């Protein structure tokens, strides 16, 4: 070994014939199986990743080509179920709309309306018109019931020989409200009302003959006049009934003629 030659690592002589064997032996003793890089940048003992210098993989999402078949199976199934559900709801909505239109058309025809093909009937206008027709019909029914009640009441008054003022008395007392001429017990209720009115107002009792006591009220404003005596025996309610039913007779007997 040349004393003027600097030793490598303190023990290896670069001028020695077995320099490379000494260097490899020193490297193995020092680093083991580690690979020595030519540029010397890698730290001692570290294994260098050959892919470390490569560009990182792109994180951009892959664009979908629009084909459902290219999606995962579970996604395809989910989309298919949604489409079926949506189609079912569209069918149900159409069926409900068609049923509503059919109902409105049936009602309009029953009421005498003519709806042109392809046109929608205004449900609000139809409801308002139906309500008005029902109101008119209700008024007519009420008037018919009133006439039937009056006829039955007058027959009962004549049969019991009571004063015709009995009709006005019962009407003024509200006794005729709620009577149904179509009911089986209608006639018996009318007779009971007349009998009760005569009992509560004795002056409503008629005379069966000339010698019978009590006012003869079978005639007024024309036929057999109500006597002054009968008028004087009337209470305020009966006189008011006379005013309503026979205003001319009332004014004459009350001195207001």
Res 224 pLDDT > 50: no
C-alpha dist (Å) from residue 139 to 76, 132, 145, 167, 173 = 66, 11, 10, 21, 22
**Weakest mean pLDDT among 63-72, 132-141, 156-165, 240-249:** 63-72
Q: What is the pLDDT of residue 228?
A: 82
Name the residue with tokens 């029902």.
Answer: 134
Instruction: Label residue 245 exposed, middle or buried (CB < 10 Å: 0-12, 13-18, 19+).
Output: buried
Q: What is the pLDDT of residue 195?
A: 92
Within 10 angstroms of residue 121's Cβ, the number of other Cβ atoms is 15
pLDDT band of 120, cuts 50, 70, 90: low
Which ranges of the chain does DSSP label H, i.e. alpha helix? Answer: 19-31, 73-110, 123-160, 165-172, 186-200, 228-233, 236-245, 247-253
Gap between the Cα atoms of 185 and 42, Å rounded: 119
Instruction: Give me the half-sphere count of Cα atoms (radius 13 Å) on the Cβ side of residue 154.
Output: 7
- Percentage, residues of the chain above pLDDT 90: 7
Closest alpha carbon to 111 in 123, 97, 98, 129: 129
Nearest to 112 by CA among 135, 137, 133: 133
Q: Please report the pLDDT score of residue 43 as a whole number.
A: 52
Give the residue with greater pLDDT, 257 vs 102. Answer: 102
| Distances from the Cα of 80 to the Cα of 61, 68, 69, angstroms | 24, 10, 11
CB 169 within 8 A of CB 237: yes
**pLDDT of the residue at 191:** 93
pLDDT, residue 9, reads 62
Q: Considering the entire predicted model, what is its pTM? A: 0.39
Q: Return the pLDDT at 184.
A: 92
- 170-191 pLDDT per residue, tens: 888 888 888 898 899 999 999 9
Is residue 61 pLDDT above 70, yes or no? no
124: tokens are 């609000």
Q: Are 179 and 145 in contact (CB under 8 A)?
A: yes
Exposure string of 190-203, with b = 16+ CB inside 10 Å and e = fewer, is bbebbeebbeebeb
Any idea where the domains of the chain sit in the sequence?
127-253
């Amino acid at each position: 070994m040349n004393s003027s030659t600097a030793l490598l690592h303190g023990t290896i002589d670069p001028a020695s014939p077995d320099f490379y064997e000494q260097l490899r032996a020193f490297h193995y003793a020092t680093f083991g199986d580690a690979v020595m890089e030519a540029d010397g940048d890698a730290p001692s003992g570290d294994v260098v990743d050959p892919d470390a210098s490569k560009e990182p993989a792109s994180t951009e999402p892959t664009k979908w080509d629009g084909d459902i078949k290219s999606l995962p199976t579970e996604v395809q199934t989910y989309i298919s179920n949604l489409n079926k559900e949506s189609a079912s709801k569209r069918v149900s909505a159409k069926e409900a709309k068609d049923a509503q239109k059919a109902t409105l058309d049936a009602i309009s025809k029953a009421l005498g309306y003519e709806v042109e093909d392809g046109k929608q009937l205004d449900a609000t206008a139809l409801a308002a018109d139906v309500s008005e027709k029902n109101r008119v019909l209700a008024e007519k029914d009420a008037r018919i019931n009133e006439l039937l009640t009056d006829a039955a009441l007058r027959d009962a008054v004549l049969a019991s020989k009571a004063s015709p003022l009995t009709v006005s008395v019962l009407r003024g007392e509200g006794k005729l409200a709620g009577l149904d001429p179509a009911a089986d017990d209608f006639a018996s209720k009318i007779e009971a009302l007349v009998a009760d009115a005569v009992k509560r107002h004795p002056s409503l009792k008629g005379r069966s003959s000339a010698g019978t006591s009590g006012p003869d009220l079978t005639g007024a404003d024309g036929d057999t006049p109500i006597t002054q005596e009968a008028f004087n025996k009337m209470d305020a309610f009966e006189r008011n009934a006379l005013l309503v039913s026979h205003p001319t007779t009332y004014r004459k007997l009350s001195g207001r003629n």
